[in-house]
Structure 1
Amino acid sequence: MSRTPPRPLTLRDVSEASGVSEMTVSRVLRNRSDVSQATREKVLRAAKQLGYVPNKIAGALASQRVNLVAVIIPSMSNMVFPEVMTGINKVLENTELQPVVGITDYLPEKEEKVLYEMLSWRPSGVIIAGLEHSEASRAMLRAAGIPVVEIMDTDGDPVDAVVGISHRRAGKEIGEAILKAGYKRIGFMGTKMPLDHRARKRFEGMTQALAKGGIEVADHEFYSGGSALAKGREMTQAMLERTPDLDFLYYSNDMIGAGGLLYLIEKGYDIPTQIGLAGFNGVELLQGLPMKLATMDACRSEIGRRAAEIIVARTEDPNVEIEERIELTPTISYGDTLRRG
């Protein structure tokens, strides 16, 4: 037996249910001030009971914009970008703007596709992770005619506005802390560099700082995919079997660092005397580990908040003067795994 699909609700349905004209219903739903409070409450009550949701496409056709903010990020499978989204939501929830998320998996060609599809809906703004984009993506961002905020990284030239940290400086600071603590044999483990530009910049900053102290990275390994905790254990074991005299391990993120820490504790290493280690991102979820992993806070929630504030300000007044480059300052947390020099 075939099922007849339900008919979409219209203004007429709300008009009939509330006993007022369609024009009055439209005024209420557009939040016009020329409607009495009693009528407004009657219309909103009827719309809620019916389950009516206004069709904003018609209004968007007139304004050429919808009240959506395109948020384009590489992943939601780690603990980094959910915190960025929390910062964005805290700002947008007080406005008519709503975030809509696209995932790129760190792939430039996928970013192009996601960006193209999102811009075709004519959003009010774009928040996009990173500064490295294909020429096609950069061209679309420049031609969009809406506020664009690139987030997470300030080491490069933004299309419009940028909010983030300097990952090269972050790597340099951890390198200087390693030198100051007296470690000499350094191993590095992280995501594949061609895909993760921010991890690459931290690695470059760290190696440059170490080189000034006459130290080179003794071993390194890059990975893609898999469970981060399990991958951290696996890589740590393999690296120490390959290069057993390492006295410090730097991980490109806290999750693989936590896996490495658990392996070292299990094997009875004296941390941080025999071997030290550090991660990156300051993930609060890992506070329950047997030892506190040294890390660096990436200011994730604040990055999201400041980016959303730029979008809101520019949406309300396209000519408003705002700070177009906001560089936040992460701080090292030494925890229990990095000696203080």
Structure 2
Amino acid sequence: MNADTDENESRAAPTLASIAGRVGVSVNTVSRALRAPHTVRTELRRQINKAMEELNYVPNRLAGGLAGTRSDIVGVVVTSLYYSEFASIIDTLQSALLESGLQVMLANTRYDPEQETRLVRSILSWRPAAVAIIGVDHPPKVGELLRASGMPVIEMWDIGGDIIDSAVGIDHEAVGAAQASHLMERGYRKLAFVGSVRENDTRAQKRARGVARRIAEAGLRSVVKSTSQEGGNPDLGERLANDLLDADPEIDGIICNSDVVAFGVLRALRKRGKKVPDDIGVIAFGDSEASNCMFPTLSTVRPNRQRIGQLTADAILSRINGGDPRTIAVEWELVGRESTGKI
């Protein structure tokens, strides 16, 4: 048996027959345990449920319950809808898939690992044609479910990690290193990383690691961090900036994990009488529409969201039609504006 056959078998979705074989009962008994659990004795139900968990079986909600049935749905799982961070990706992805007769089913995990597991399990029960999901770092059960599904899985927004099937995104650690380099090239030396860095926001964590690595390579003092588990917003940015400068007034460069946090940082600096960029330089991530309307205008990193959406759609269609898994690095741009104008 060749490697390709092994891979195909390892990605084959578990069926009622595989559950029945594991427990040593008929397919009808397993089906009855799912449809009318009260008709199956308690101990046998427990064994069946245990086998389903071990094999990562997901019930089929489609009419007829045929194991090979696939819908025209593509499940799209994002971690946030806050400030429309992924809106352009979803819009581009949906438009491209509609042209091929595929519909998007959207789920928002809110960075909650338990919710991500429930949502992925629910989406898989509809037998989607494919799943597109933000990030490459997931709760262990989510990875098991997606691998066991046998469906095309395209991880979006990040490529830095263990990829399930295919991925389309950016190298977030490289982004953080570029942000630090941009400030250092303009003469800033005492740098801080500020923002919302939640436990399950691994992309922000990777950018913070990139900042720390680049600063260490330059032989500067370690990056100072002022972060919170709260969702990012301008009020949080203002509060974190004030905490940061109260504790370390010599900070002269601030790297924000998002534009909306940077808006609050700029507000805090203005209230404190700090001149940007003369006293402190500020750079962020996201390039939201407001970034070029701030005073001063905000230096930031612009991820190519539309490109990620289009290439994700292309990867989905390719995999549905038998194409090979791929990992695609998407370009991004560091946009220097007035907030880092110091030379």
TM-score, normalised by the number of residues in structure 1: 0.78
Q: Residue 320 in 1 paired to residue 323 in 2?
A: yes
- Residue 219 in structure 1 maps to residue 224 in structure 2: yes
Which one of the candidate residues 317, 332, 335 is aligned to 1:330?
Answer: 332
> 1:300 corresponds to which residue?
305
C-alpha change, 1:60 and 1:292, in structure 2 (3 Å) is farther
Code of the aligned partner of 1:254:
D
State the match for 1:84 in structure 2: 89
Q: Stretches of 4+ moved more than 3 A in 1?
A: 56-63
CA distance in 1, matches of 2:128, 2:65: 10
Residue 103 of structure 2 is aligned to residue 103 of structure 1 = no
1:339 alignment counterpart = 341
**Corresponding residue number in structure 1 for 2:293:** 288
Gap regions ≥5 residues in structure 2: 1-60
* Counterpart Cα distance in 1 of 2:259 and 2:226: 16
Alpha-carbon distance, 1:157 to partner: 1.9
**Which of 200, 207, 211 pairs up with 2:205?**
200
C-alpha separation in 1, matches of 2:250 and 2:232: 27
- Residue 242 of structure 1 aligns with an amino acid whose one-letter code is A
* 2:274 is the counterpart of 1:269: yes
Once the two structures are TM-superposed, the CA of residue 302 in structure 1 deviates from its matched residue by 1.5
C-alpha distance 226-120 of structure 1, shift in aligned 2 (>3 A): closer
Matching residue of 1:52: none
Give the 3-state SS of the residue equivalent to 1:159 in structure 2. coil
Tell me the secondary structure at the aligned position of residue 331 of structure 1: strand
Q: Residues 295 and 334 of structure 1 are in contact (CA less than 8 Å); yes or no, is this contact kept in structure 2?
A: yes
Alpha-carbon shift at residue 205 of structure 1 (Å): 0.8
Instruction: Quote the RMSD (CA, aligned, Å).
Output: 2.1
In the alignment, the residues of structure 2 paired with residue 172 and residue 311 of structure 1 have an alpha-carbon distance, to the nearest angstrom, of 31
Alignment of structure 1 residues 59-208 onto 2, 5 Å = 64-208=69-213
C-alpha separation in 2, matches of 1:57 and 1:171: 44
Amino acid of the residue matched to residue 339 of structure 1? G
Partner of 2:235: 230
2: CA distance between counterparts of 1:87 and 1:108? 26
Q: How does 1:10-89 map to 2 (within 5 A)?
A: 58=63, 64-89=69-94
Whether the 8 Å CA contact 2:62–2:127 is kept in 1: the answer is no
User: What SS is found at the alignment partner of 1:106?
Assistant: coil
Instruction: Please tell me whether Structure 1 or Structure 2 has the larger radius of gyration of its CA atoms.
Output: 1
CA deviations on 1:71-96 (whole Å, 9 max, x unpaired) are: 01111012311122112122122121
Q: CA deviation at 1:166?
A: 0.3
Measured at CA, do residues 314 and 60 of structure 1 come closer, stay the same or move farther in structure 2, by a change above 3 Å? farther
CA–CA distance in structure 2, aligned partners of residues 58 and 111 of structure 1: 25
Report how many residues are paired.
283
Unaligned stretches of 5+ in structure 1? 1-55
Deviation for aligned residue 1:285: 3.3
C-alpha distance after superposition, 1:123-152 (max 9, x if no partner): 110001111112211111111121110011
Q: Distance in 2 between matches of 1:340 and 1:65?
A: 56
Per the normalisation by structure 2, the TM-score is 0.77
The percent of aligned pairs where both chains have the same amino acid is: 28
Contact between 2:172 and 2:203, CA under 8 Å: does it hold in 1? Answer: yes
Letter in 2 for 1:320: G
Q: Deviations over 1:298-318 (max 9, x none)?
A: 222211221112112322x1x
Q: Distance in 1 between matches of 2:276 and 2:126?
A: 53
Superposed, 1:245-256 pairs within 5 Å as 245-256=250-261
- Asked if the contact 1:188–1:217 (Cα under 8 Å) also holds between the matched residues in 2, the reply is no
